[in-house]
Amino acid sequence: MANIRLSIWLAVLLVIITACGADSEADIVEDVEAQQSATSTGMKILTNDTDQNKRRVQKSEQLENYADEAGYYLNQSATLLMQLSPYFDRAELSTSDLNDVLSILTTIRNERDAFINLERPRAFEGFHNVHLSTLMEIDALERIFRDMRSPTHPLQIDNARVHYENAIMSHKLMEREYLTLMEEYGMY
C-alpha cells in the first residue's frame, strides 16, 4: 500500500512540475515578434468609433455634402446667436439696438432659408426635427423684437430672453445630433 501511495505522489509531483514549466526566453521573444508582425502586416488597429464607422458604414456623396453644409450652417447660426447675447444684459434697448438685433435675426433667417431648402438625406431627419424647434424659438424671438418700440420695457426684454435661451438650448441639441451623426457615419 505504501508503494501505491508513493507512486501516486510521484505521479502528481511529476504532473505539477511539468505543468508549471515557464516559457523559455526564446519562446517569449518569438511570441512578441509574432504579435508585432501581425499588426504591421495588414492588420490595422482602429483607434476609435469614428475610424471603425468609416469602414463599417457606407455613406453617399449626398450625405457627405449635406453634412458639410449642416456643419457650416451650425457654425454660422451659433456665431449669429451669440452676437445677440449682449443685448439681453441691458435694461433698455434703443432704436439703434433694436435695428441691430433685427438685422442679426434677418441674417439668421436668410441662412436658414438657404439651408432648409437643401435636399435632406434620411439620416438627418432627427437633426431636422431639432432644427425646426430651434427655428420656432428664433421666429418667436424675432416677433417680440419686431413688436418692441423704444423705450423698451424690461419685461419685454425678459420675454425675449426666454425665447433666446430656448433657441440656444435647441441649437445645442442640434449640435449634439450633428456630432452623433458625424461619429455614426465616420465623417468627423
pLDDT digits (tens, 9 = 90+) for 156-182: 999 999 999 999 999 999 999 999 999
How confident is the model over 12-40, as a mean pLDDT? 63
Q: Judge: domain 49-184, CATH 1.20.120.
A: yes
Instruction: Indicate the domain borders of the chain.
Output: 2-40, 49-184
Grid cell at residue 128: 431636422
pLDDT at 4: 76
pLDDT at 7: 73
Residue bearing cell 521573444 = 29
User: For the ranges 49-53, 101-105, 152-156, 183-187, which has the lowest average pLDDT?
Assistant: 49-53
Residue 118 burial by Cβ neighbours in a 10 Å radius (0-12, 13-18, 19+): middle
* pLDDT interval class at 25 (50, 70, 90): low
31-82: pLDDT as tens digits: 666 666 655 555 555 555 555 555 555 568 999 999 999 999 999 999 999 9
Percentage of the chain with pLDDT > 90?
59
Cβ atoms < 10 Å from Cβ of 48:
10
137, 168, 162, 108: CA torsion to nearest 10: -50
Q: Model pTM? A: 0.68
User: Of 163, 74, 81, 80, which is closest to residue 127 (Cα–Cα)?
Assistant: 74
